[in-house]
Structure 1
Amino acid sequence: MSRWNPTFFTAFFFFLLCSLSGCHNRNQELVEDRIITFSSGDNTLQARLVIPKVHQSNDAIVLLVHGDGAMDHSAKGYFEPIITTLNEQRYATLSWSKPGVGSSDGDWLMQTMSQRAEEVRSAIRYLRQNGYPNNPVGVVGFSQASWVLAELGNEPEITFAALIGGAANWREQSKYTMWLRLIEEEKIHPDDTAVWQEIEELNELEYQLIKSGFNDYLGSDLHLHPFMAQPLEDEARFGFVRANIDSDVSLGFAQIRFPMLALFGDSDIRVDIEHSQQVFATTLGASDKLTQKVISNASHSLLKTELSMRAALYLTEDDFAPGALNTLVEWLNTHAHKAQPQRL
Structure 2
Amino acid sequence: MLHTHETEQEAEAQLGPARRPRSRRRRFLRALAATAAALSLAAVVLTGLAAWHNTYDLREEHVVIHTGGRALNAVLALPHRGRGPFGVVVFVHGDGPIDATHDTFYRPMWEAFAQAGYASLSWNKPGVGGSAGNWLDQSMADRAAETADAIAWARTRPDLDGHRIGLWGASQAGWVLPKVAATTPGIRFVIAVSPAINWLRQGRYNTLAELTDRGAPPAERDAALARREAGLAVLRRGGTYADYRAAVPSDRAMTADRWHFISRNWTSDATSDLRAVGARGVPTLLVLAGHDRNVDVAETETVYRRELPPRSLQVEHYAQADHGLADLDVIRSETRAFLTAVFAPRSLFTPGYLDSLRTFTRRFNP
What TM-score, normalized by structure 2, do the two folds share?
A: 0.77
> SS of 1:212's equivalent?
coil
Do structure 1's residue 151 and structure 2's residue 179 form an aligned pair?
Answer: yes
CA contact (8 A) 1:147 1:249 kept: yes
> SS of 1:167's equivalent?
coil
What TM-score, normalized by structure 1, do the two folds share?
A: 0.82
Question: Which structure 2 residues correspond to residues 253-292 of structure 1 after superposition, within 5 A?
Answer: 253-256=274-277, 257=280, 258-284=282-308, 286-292=309-315
Counterpart residue type for residue 359 of structure 2: E
Which of 319, 326, 342 is residue 296 of structure 1 equivalent to? Answer: 319
Which of 230, 233, 239 is residue 260 of structure 2 equivalent to? Answer: 239
Q: Distance in 2 between matches of 1:238 and 1:14?
A: 49
Q: CA RMSD in A?
A: 2.7
> SS of 1:253's equivalent?
helix
Number of corresponding residues: 310
1:332 to partner: Cα distance: 1.7
Partner of 1:116 in structure 2? 143
Structure 1 stretch 267-276 or stretch 132-141: which is displaced more?
A: 132-141
Q: Distance in 2 between matches of 1:33 and 1:200?
A: 45
Structure 1 stretch 292-301 or stretch 124-133: which is displaced more?
A: 124-133
1:231 to partner: Cα distance: 2.2
> SS of 1:266's equivalent?
strand
Question: Which structure 2 residues correspond to residues 1-344 of structure 1 after superposition, within 5 A?
Answer: 16-17=47-48, 21-27=51-57, 31-52=58-79, 53-54=81-82, 56-57=84-85, 59-131=86-158, 132=160, 134-152=162-180, 153-183=182-212, 184-188=214-218, 203-210=228-235, 211-221=238-248, 230-232=252-254, 234-256=255-277, 257=280, 258-284=282-308, 286-307=309-330, 308=336, 309-311=338-340, 313=342, 316-334=345-363, 336-337=364-365, 339=366
Counterpart residue type for residue 216 of structure 2: E
Q: Distance in 2 between matches of 1:205 and 1:246?
A: 16
> C-alpha offsets along residues 250-304 of structure 1, whole Å, 9 cap, x if unaligned?
11111112111110110111111111111222222x1012111111200101110
**Relative to structure 1, is the Cα distance of residues 271 and 135 closer, same or farther in structure 2, using a 3 angstrom cutoff?**
same
Provide structure 2 residue ranges, at least 5 long, that are not aligned to the other structure: 1-39, 331-335
CA contact (8 A) 1:167 1:173 kept: yes
> SS of 1:302's equivalent?
coil
Q: Distance in 1 between matches of 2:169 and 2:128?
A: 18
Q: Distance in 1 between matches of 2:165 and 2:311?
A: 19
Q: Distance in 2 between matches of 1:314 and 1:241?
A: 38
> C-alpha offsets along residues 129-149 of structure 1, whole Å, 9 cap, x if unaligned?
221354410101011001011
1:181 to partner: Cα distance: 2.8
**Relative to structure 1, is the Cα distance of residues 276 and 209 closer, same or farther in structure 2, using a 3 angstrom cutoff?**
same
1:204 to partner: Cα distance: 4.4
CA contact (8 A) 2:88 2:161 kept: no
Q: Distance in 1 between matches of 2:359 and 2:82?
A: 19
**Relative to structure 1, is the Cα distance of residues 306 and 231 closer, same or farther in structure 2, using a 3 angstrom cutoff?**
farther
Q: Distance in 1 between matches of 2:119 and 2:343?
A: 21
Percent sequence identity over matched residues? 25
Indicate the structure (1 or 2) with the bigger Cα radius of gyration: 2
Partner of 1:192 in structure 2? none
Larger relative contact order (CA 8 Å, sep ≥ 6): 1
Partner of 2:8 in structure 1? none
> SS of 1:33's equivalent?
strand
CA contact (8 A) 1:295 1:321 kept: yes
Partner of 2:26 in structure 1? none
CA contact (8 A) 1:182 1:188 kept: no
Q: Distance in 2 between matches of 1:43 and 1:14?
A: 44
> SS of 2:310's equivalent?
coil
CA contact (8 A) 2:137 2:260 kept: yes
Partner of 2:17 in structure 1? none
CA contact (8 A) 1:137 1:160 kept: yes
